[in-house]
Homo-oligomer: A and B are copies of this chain.
Amino acid sequence: MKKYTSINDIDNLTSWIEEAKELKENPLKHCALGTKKTLGLLFFNTSLRTRLSTQKAALNLGMDPIVMNVSGDAWGIEFEDGSIMNGSTAEHIKEAAAVVSQYCDMIAVRAFPSLKDKEQDEAEHVLKAFMKYASVPVISMESATEHPLQGFTDAITISENTKKKRPKVVLSWAPHVNALPHAVANSFVQAMQKMDVEFIITNPKGYNLNSAITKETTIEHDQIVALKNADFVYAKNWSSYEDYGKILNTDTAWMLTKEKLGNAKFMHCLPVRRNLVAEDAVLDSNASLVIEQANNRTYAAQLVLKKILENL
């Protein structure tokens, strides 16, 4: 594999899930595969799980992770072609990406969207620039529109926890005080579309995700109807896609409660705001899979690193 920047980079989700489960059973089986290979982790934004799980995955494979907070450790990077760089940016992505490629055998990048300019965000100008100018494989640790390590993790977690051949999975919009990206939701949708599940999205009007991603997936605006007989409920806030990046709805009635959850398992990518996105009774119950999701982040990342290492 030469890159991992989208759920679409997974050629066969079923077999990937099985391979990730094998890594989870025996995380150190390939502990020499990455010997003397460096993974550069470049963060344009904060990170807890992604930061730690990707380092752990690299260490399990014997790699040397090198972490860099781009904003704090270095300087402003220019992404525009042809610009006269007499402003605040000190280095062009053409040089930055090519240079990091000299020191790292693969580059993992986190770069959130502006949520102000839909076109620019959808162009994925940061991630795409790294893909264009880096001479080594690039991994997305969450880009403007996708979070493929999370989406793959979620697929693994559902596979591990389902008791049915074809479970019902609901992605339910949740309230939040900040305008959040669509990346986690998008990658979850894409992962579910590749799995043998009954999948439905529920969100308030005005909050439909990009239809180019949701495609034929049913969108139900009545949360109670959508949650009926669910086996897995994934709660997640996102800002409006149509009225791009705006908060149109702060109705706390969309919070996930134990009563609404019923017998379903609860999922969330974390960090989760308690008693806003989901109530304590949900998160503190045995129905919650959020910690196991966090655990699976390691093995999702480890499989991606392994597949790239095998092709270096």
Within 8 A of B (CB), among A229-282: 270-276, 280
Q: Is A18 an interface residue (CB 8 A)?
A: no
The reply to whether A274 and B78 contact each other, CB–CB distance below 8 Å, is: yes
Q: Is A47 an interface residue (CB 8 A)?
A: yes
The reply to whether A82 and B291 contact each other, CB–CB distance below 8 Å, is: no
Known contacts: A52-B66, A69-B72. The answer to whether A86 contacts B270 by CB under 8 A is: no
Chain B neighbourhood of A224, CB < 8 A: none
A254 to chain B, nearest CB (A): 13
Q: Is A46 an interface residue (CB 8 A)?
A: yes
The reply to whether A51 and B36 contact each other, CB–CB distance below 8 Å, is: no
The reply to whether B64 and A38 contact each other, CB–CB distance below 8 Å, is: no
The reply to whether B96 and A48 contact each other, CB–CB distance below 8 Å, is: yes
Known contacts: A91-B270, A102-B298. The answer to whether A275 contacts B82 by CB under 8 A is: yes
A125 to chain B, nearest CB (A): 16
Q: Is A53 an interface residue (CB 8 A)?
A: yes
Chain B neighbourhood of A52, CB < 8 A: 40, 66, 68, 99-100, 103-104
Q: What number of copies of this chain does the assembly contain?
A: 3
CB contact between A274 and one of B31, B53, B85, B284 (< 8 Å): that residue = B85
- What is the total number of residues of chain A having a CB less than 8 Å from a CB of chain B? 62
Known contacts: A55-B66, A103-B298. The answer to whether A272 contacts B95 by CB under 8 A is: yes
Known contacts: A86-B177, A272-B95. The answer to whether A68 contacts B56 by CB under 8 A is: no
Cα of A100 to Cα of B284 in the assembled complex, Å? 17
Chain B neighbourhood of A53, CB < 8 A: 102-103
CB contact between A59 and one of B36, B49, B283, B290 (< 8 Å): that residue = B36
Cα of A96 to Cα of B291 in the assembled complex, Å? 9
CB contact between A68 and one of B31, B51, B75, B298 (< 8 Å): that residue = B51
Residue ID in chain B nearest A58 by CB atoms: B64
Q: Is A306 an interface residue (CB 8 A)?
A: no
Cα of A170 to Cα of B126 in the assembled complex, Å? 35
CB contact between A99 and one of B46, B48, B78, B280 (< 8 Å): that residue = B48
Residue ID in chain B nearest A53 by CB atoms: B103
Q: Is A312 an interface residue (CB 8 A)?
A: no
CB contact between A84 and one of B100, B276, B295 (< 8 Å): that residue = B276
The reply to whether B85 and A276 contact each other, CB–CB distance below 8 Å, is: yes
Chain B neighbourhood of A55, CB < 8 A: 38, 66, 103
CB contact between A56 and one of B47, B86, B94, B103 (< 8 Å): that residue = B103
Q: Is A212 an interface residue (CB 8 A)?
A: no
Residue ID in chain B nearest A291 by CB atoms: B98
A-B contact pairs, 28 of them (CB 8 A): A38-B59, A40-B52, A48-B68, A48-B73, A48-B96, A49-B99, A51-B73, A52-B66, A52-B104, A55-B103, A69-B73, A83-B274, A84-B275, A84-B276, A85-B273, A85-B275, A85-B276, A87-B177, A90-B273, A91-B270, A94-B284, A95-B270, A95-B290, A95-B294, A98-B291, A102-B294, A102-B297, A102-B298
